[in-house]
Amino acid sequence: MPDDEGLALHAAGVEAAAVGPLLEIGTYCGKSAIYLGAAARTGGTVVFTVDHHRGSEENQAGWEHHDTRLVDPRTGRMDTLPFFRRTIEAAGLEDVVVAVVADSPTLARYWATPLGLCFIDGGHAYDVARADYEAWSPFVAPGGLLVFHDVFEDPEAGGQAPFLVWQGAVDSGRFTPVSATGSLRVLRRV
């Protein structure tokens, strides 16, 4: 996540903290959780980070974003959780960043708390991004923010799944655009 997008995410988090807690889908090693954790602290709330920590499709062996350092030598599987924990500890945010190791739609089935902000940055395949949106967008409180990362209108610039899901959210009439910074898009729940 580029710094300008991270700062825009932080600003959205600070604003949304007045509405309710923050939630991040797709934690990876914790860079965006630092921005959201700092926002949560400023706003007097917490951020829940939801990730199974096994990596998205694009993080697996043979794909462009595969990082062999994130493979557990014992299991041979991706495991970003230890890296995430170190990131949050080093940032001094363990009191405001609540890690939930789970599949996002599974957790949403048991969730009940309205959210000030929901940040969708999990898997970038259409079915995965759409499932995250469908599972979590109903929890965004009126006036709360729904944020998408890696939204590229031009297919040459990046994958289309987050763009298509973001466009569906706008077209639903339940959310209105607030801002765009790089590939970060912020919507407000009406």
C-alpha to C-alpha distance for 174 and 187, rounded to whole angstroms: 9
C-alpha to C-alpha distance for 140 and 126, rounded to whole angstroms: 21
Which residue type occupies 71? V
Burial 128-152 (b: 16+ CB within 10 A, else e): bbbbbbebbbebbbeebbbbbbbbb
| Cα 105 to Cα 28, 142, 155, 168, distances in angstroms | 17, 21, 27, 18
Active site residue 124: yes
Backbone angles phi, psi at 170, to 5 degrees: -65, -45
Active-site position among 10, 52, 53, 124:
124
Which residue type occupies 73? P
| Cα 79 to Cα 10, 28, 56, 66, 85, distances in angstroms | 26, 9, 11, 12, 11
Helix (H) or strand (E) holding 181: strand 175-181
Catalytic residues: 124
